Chains A and B, each alone.
Chain A
Amino acid sequence: MGNLLEIKNLSIEYVTDERTNKAVNNLNLKIREGETLGFVGETGAGKTTTALGIMRLVPSPPGRIVSGEIIFEGENLLEKTEKEMREIRGNKISMIFQDPMTSLNPIMTVGEQIEEVIKLHEDLPKDELRKRAEAMLETVGIRKERFDDYPHEFSGGMKQRVVIAMGLACNPKLIIADEPTTALDVTIQAQVLELMKELKVKFNTSMLLITHDLGVVAETCDYVAIMYAGSVLEYGNVERIYNNPLHPYTVGLFNSIPSLDEDKDKLDVIPGTPPDPANLPTGCKFHPRCSKCMEICKQKMPEPIEVEEGHYVSCFLYDKDVKEGR
Chain B
Amino acid sequence: MERVLIDVRDLKKYFNTKQGTLHAVDGLNFQVLKGETLGLVGESGCGKSTTGRAILRLHEPTSGEVIYDGEDILKYNNKKMKEMRRKMQIVFQDPYSSLNPRLSVFELIADPLYVNKGVVPKNRIEEKVKYTMELVGLEKRLINSYPHELDGGRRQRVGIARALVLNPEFIVLDEPVSALDVSIQSQILNLLDELQEKLSLTYIFVAHDLSVVKHISDRIAVMYLGNIVELTDYKKIFEDPLHPYTQALLSAIPIPKVGIKRERIMLEGDVPSPINPGPGCVFYGRCRNRKDMCKEVKPEFEEKKPGHFVACHIV
Contacts and interface: CB of A to CB of B under 8 A. Distances in A.
A291 interface: no
B193 A256 contact: no
Contact of A42 (B181, B211, B249, B266): B181
B189 interface: yes
A109 B261 CA distance: 40
Contacts of A253: 182-183
B20 interface: no
Contact of A218 (B185, B215, B255): B255
B43 A186 contact: yes
B211 to A, nearest CB: 4
A264 to B, nearest CB: 7
Contacts of B216: 258
B149 to A, nearest CB: 11
Interface string B265-297: 011001100000000000000000000000000
B256 A254 contact: yes
B256 A258 contact: no
A212 B212 CA distance: 15
Contacts of A213: 254, 256
Contacts of B315: none
Contact of B256 (A158, A194, A257): A257
A256 B253 contact: no
A193 B254 CA distance: 10
Contacts of B98: none
Contacts of B44: 185
A36 B238 CA distance: 31
A148 B153 CA distance: 44
Interface in A174-220: 185-191, 193-194, 212-219
Given A155-B270, A260-B210, A268-B186, A239 B249 contact: no
A136 to B, nearest CB: 20
Contacts of B181: 42-43, 212, 274
Given A42-B183, A258-B189, A266-B190, A188 B270 contact: yes
A238 interface: yes
Contacts of B270: 155, 157-158, 188
Contact of B190 (A157, A191, A218, A269): A269
A57 B296 CA distance: 54
Nearest to A188: B270
Interface in B138-171: 151-153
Nearest to A191: B266
A155 B267 CA distance: 15
Contacts of B238: 260-261
A267 B153 contact: no
Size class of the contact patch on chain B: 35 or more
A67 B15 CA distance: 55
B1 interface: no
A52 interface: no
Contacts of A216: 254
A260 B255 contact: yes
Interface in A245-288: 252-254, 256-261, 263-270, 273-274
B208 interface: yes
Interface string B247-260: 01101111111110
B57 interface: no
Interface string A210-234: 0011111111000000000000000
B267 A218 contact: no
Most buried by B among A215, A239, A264: A215
Given A188-B270, A218-B257, A267 B252 contact: no
A215 B212 CA distance: 13
B211 A242 contact: no
A243 interface: yes
Interface string B186-227: 110110010000000000000010111011100000000000
B236 interface: no
B215 A264 contact: yes
A274 B248 CA distance: 36
A273 B153 CA distance: 8
A252 B186 CA distance: 11
Given A157-B270, A187-B267, A257 B211 contact: yes
Interface string B19-49: 0000000000000000000000001100000
Nearest to B215: A258
A120 to B, nearest CB: 31
B81 interface: no
A260 B254 contact: no
A256 B43 contact: no
B184 interface: yes
A274 B252 CA distance: 30
A20 B249 CA distance: 44
B183 A269 contact: yes
A186 B208 contact: yes
B210 to A, nearest CB: 7
Contacts of A187: 43, 248-249, 252, 267
B264 interface: yes
Contacts of A270: 183, 186
The 5 closest A-B pairs by CB, nearest first: A215-B254, A258-B215, A214-B256, A185-B43, A256-B186
9 contacts: A42-B183, A185-B44, A187-B248, A190-B252, A190-B254, A190-B267, A191-B267, A214-B256, A267-B215
Interface of B: 43-44, 151-153, 181-187, 189-190, 193, 208, 210-212, 214-216, 235, 238, 248-249, 251-259, 264, 266-267, 270-271
